[in-house]
Structure 1
């Protein structure tokens, strides 16, 4: 080798850099997906803790809000206002469904309430298909462009999704930890009978919990729709991954729903990128099953003993 001659470029350093950039893209995409699952899971847990109802209709009701938002946007309403309208529409339709078919059920009819939410979901999808049709539609991104990091171009929409979800989750934590209505909701979650003895309006608290949970579901839908498009069943897959997240984190734990959703999102994207896209759900749900076999109450849940 001649003195002063440059060593040949083997490409190893460049390959390692590309691998790191690729991993960063996968990680950010996973966190963005997990933020959506975490928001939906948080909404499901809030409703469940306040009313003992597992709301399978949350995704379909949020989809109604998405279609309403797109209609308003196409008619000239600014996107941010249309997004706000989606949250309001979702909460309003969801509360109407609760008052009509869920509340009349006798106390403790958990299976009947579960079946009712499934029925509401099917009805909502049918209404969407009748009014807006079944053809795929594009939903506009809240922001465009990307942020460069090395050779990686991270979509700004993904970063916005993570940021908005983090702020929403922090506000929910503040609501439950620092406000009167949050304390009342926690009291109802611990014992509805005790809360009623203390003079707390359980039905009013239940309505607030449903509105909040549905609003979080609608926010998750708004953040998810720009990259997935719009179909009557567009939120079916995120809903089941959100359920995987809340079972992984613990059905009664709000923090568990968030951490579980983020975990599912990251694992889902890692499996799709480094194993096979066809096995992403198999990998995620297998991991969830293993955790539940070891710790049935989830990572952050509390073990409860019930007679069955």
Structure 2
């Protein structure tokens, strides 16, 4: 039982990180209706920004996380203004190619600045926390608490504020939102900024128990796409639920089957669930 509970906590850790990344991806998809492959590069940039602020400037972990969120939010807005906005009336394929171009550009930039070496990001939370008979690393517990707190904050922002309501309106009906006076450009920039913050915070939370390197976002963004397809394209609840499903599947599958196959489990689940429910778990659009 203790081993099972340990894997449940591991599943919550992975699910929290995946859900944060998938939330940013699904918000952008809801507005642009184009898969943003550059989101993985934003995740990587968040990890490197936090690493740089801590290692080179000597800032503490929390300030580095906030700084990384702000830096990636600005980077995401610049990408939206310079790349995605001029292509807003083009075919979706053009925007997808542009997103891949941003991904490759940022990865090459990170490698040029920091090199291709794997780096370890320090954390002040190196101890263990006793949860009954289970001992859990403090950083993993921080990931769970931080990820779900941020998800709740995003939910309240979208549901309880006028700005959040404009994002939902744009996701549901872009033309209708424009007719009632919603500024599409402002909402698009805000959505990209929020997605950048989510990716950066997820990276800053997860990097201390992982490694920081230029291509670190590739596998994460691939799983994030699996999650948003699994949950329903453009669905916020689907992104959260899909992230938790993939997180638990990887944790339990890696423990009971083999860690060698844990990255394949997400894609197997995608095939199984979509064969039963092709439209995804939440197919009614963004909520």
1:15 aligned partner: none
SS of equivalent to 1:153? strand
Q: Distance in 1 between matches of 2:250 and 2:232?
A: 19
Unaligned runs of 5+ in 1: 1-19, 304-308
Q: Which residue of the other structure, out of 51, 67, 73, is the alignment partner of 1:85? A: 67
Unaligned runs of 5+ in 2: none
Q: How does 1:39-58 map to 2 (within 5 A)?
A: 39-58=20-39
Q: Are residue 206 (structure 1) and residue 188 (structure 2) matched?
A: yes
Q: Distance in 2 between matches of 1:151 and 1:59?
A: 37
Q: Are residue 229 (structure 1) and residue 224 (structure 2) matched?
A: no
Q: How does 1:7-22 map to 2 (within 5 A)?
A: 20-22=1-3
Q: How does 1:191-270 map to 2 (within 5 A)?
A: 191-270=173-252
Q: How does 1:24-173 map to 2 (within 5 A)?
A: 24-74=5-55, 75-141=57-123, 143-149=125-131, 151-173=133-155
**Cα offset for 1:283?**
2.6
Q: Which stretch of the first structure deviates more once superposed, 162-171 or 278-287?
A: 278-287
Cα gap change, 1:49/1:142 in structure 2, threshold over 3 Å: closer, same or farther? farther
Q: How does 1:176-195 map to 2 (within 5 A)?
A: 176-195=158-177
TM-score by length of 2: 0.95
TM-score by length of 1: 0.88
Cα gap change, 1:106/1:239 in structure 2, threshold over 3 Å: closer, same or farther? closer
Cα gap change, 1:71/1:98 in structure 2, threshold over 3 Å: closer, same or farther? same
Q: Which residue of the other structure, out of 258, 266, 271, is the alignment partner of 1:289? A: 271
Cα gap change, 1:32/1:106 in structure 2, threshold over 3 Å: closer, same or farther? closer
Cα deviation, 1:121-143, whole Å, max 9, x if unaligned, reads: 00000000001111111112252
Contact 1:144 1:157 in 2 (8 A): yes
Cα deviation, 1:55-104, whole Å, max 9, x if unaligned, reads: 11112123223222222212222221111111111111121122111111
Q: Distance in 2 between matches of 1:211 and 1:167?
A: 18
**Cα offset for 1:150?**
5.3
Q: Distance in 1 between matches of 2:280 and 2:8?
A: 24
**Cα offset for 1:204?**
0.3
Q: Distance in 1 between matches of 2:14 and 2:154?
A: 19
Contact 1:244 1:261 in 2 (8 A): no
Q: Distance in 2 between matches of 1:40 and 1:264?
A: 13
Rg: which structure is higher? 1
SS of equivalent to 1:141? coil
Higher-RCO chain (CA-CA 8 Å, sequence separation at least 6): 2
Q: How does 1:271-290 map to 2 (within 5 A)?
A: 271-290=253-272
Q: Distance in 2 between matches of 1:50 and 1:213?
A: 12
Cα gap change, 1:110/1:129 in structure 2, threshold over 3 Å: closer, same or farther? same
**Cα offset for 1:191?**
1.4
